[in-house]
Amino acid sequence: MLNLLNGVIIAPLAATHASWSDIGTFAVAAAVVLAGAIGVVIARNPVHAALMLVMTLFGIAVLFVLQRADFLAAVQVIVYAGAIVVLFLFVIMFLGVDKTESVRAEPLRGQRPLAAGLVALGLAGVLILGLVSHWTTGKASVAGAANGPGSNVFKLGRSVFTTYLFPFEITSALLVIAVVGAVVLARRPPSTGSDGPDAIGATDTAGATGAIDATGETLDAAGDITDPTTETIDEEVAP
């Protein structure tokens, strides 16, 4: 096994003559990525988990730069760390759920050891297969060369806007669908009273804006009252 390890892992590393700066950068970035990932899993506070996620994303961006994927590293930082994590933090703060979760509580007995065992088994399987099996790949450079001279942005852009033009157009439809879906989901449901334009139009005969607000408030309160009702119904139905 040690011989195998030496043959498969150490030898290629020595054979490629990786410079010590590359090795050091990779080691530091990998440590940052793994520390951030473990922090996301074990952090009790969701805000801490989000900040650990930022750490992981920056480490991944460094690994992208190390592999000459400059544009993707920039997009990684801008989109993931700049938009997605900010969206996470916004929702955490907005909902006021930044309470610590009781990590110890285990509703399903034995679920966590089972999950850890399954994940460890899968990881070991993938790593062992990667070490002992042969790699079969298809034709290289189908969509164009990634390495070699020329800027990364130029090659990526030419590929996106020629070979992958149709998927690129489809992503715009996907984004529009996501935006519409988010608006529909985040809207206050009509049954619990609404302060949207429809409700204002419906109660327009009430007159002053204050009256509309008061109506909205009472409807809101009624909506809140109905929630325990559904809860009890749910309890009754559940055995």
Partner 1 sequence: MTIAGAWYLGLAAVLFSIGALGLLIRRNVLVMFMCVELMLNAANLTFVTFARMMNDIGGQVLVFFVLVVAAAEVVVGLGIVVAIFRRRANATADDLHLMKG
Query: 86 is written with which tokens?
Result: 């900010």
Distance of alpha carbon 207 from alpha carbon 213, whole angstroms: 11
Candidates 80, 193, 216, 219; binder of partner 1 (CB under 8 A) is: 80
Distance of alpha carbon 167 from alpha carbon 16, whole angstroms: 36
Interacting span for partner 1 (CB under 8 A) from 20-28, 200-208, 209-217: 20-28
Candidates 68, 151, 198, 206; binder of partner 1 (CB under 8 A) is: 68
Residues in region 186-215 near partner 1 by CB under 8 A: 186, 188
141 binds partner 1 (CB under 8 A): yes
Please state the closest distance from residue 145 (CB atom) to partner 1, in A.
5
Identify which of residues 46 and 216 has a Cβ nearer to partner 1 in the complex: 46
Identify which of residues 5 and 211 has a Cβ nearer to partner 1 in the complex: 5
Interacting span for partner 1 (CB under 8 A) from 138-146, 193-201, 207-215: 138-146
Contacts 24+ apart (CB under 8 A), 167-172: none
Please state the closest distance from residue 234 (CB atom) to partner 1, in A.
7
219 binds partner 1 (CB under 8 A): no
Residues in region 38-57 near partner 1 by CB under 8 A: 38, 40-41, 43, 46, 49-50, 53, 56-57
Distance of alpha carbon 223 from alpha carbon 195, whole angstroms: 13
1 binds partner 1 (CB under 8 A): no
86 binds partner 1 (CB under 8 A): no
CA distances from 183 to 86, 158, 180, 226 (A): 18, 34, 5, 24
Candidates 5, 28, 83, 225; binder of partner 1 (CB under 8 A) is: 83
Distance of alpha carbon 80 from alpha carbon 57, whole angstroms: 7
- Please provide the DSSP assignment of 116-131 as one string: HHHHHHHHHHHHHHHH
How many residues touch partner 1 under the rule CB under 8 A: the total is: 98
84 binds partner 1 (CB under 8 A): yes
Distance of alpha carbon 145 from alpha carbon 140, whole angstroms: 8
Candidates 4, 5, 91, 221; binder of partner 1 (CB under 8 A) is: 91
Whether 36 and 63 have beta carbons less than 8 Å apart is answered as no
Whether 35 and 51 have beta carbons less than 8 Å apart is answered as no
148 binds partner 1 (CB under 8 A): yes
Please state the closest distance from residue 115 (CB atom) to partner 1, in A.
4
Angle in degrees, CA 132, 133, 134, rounded to 5: 130
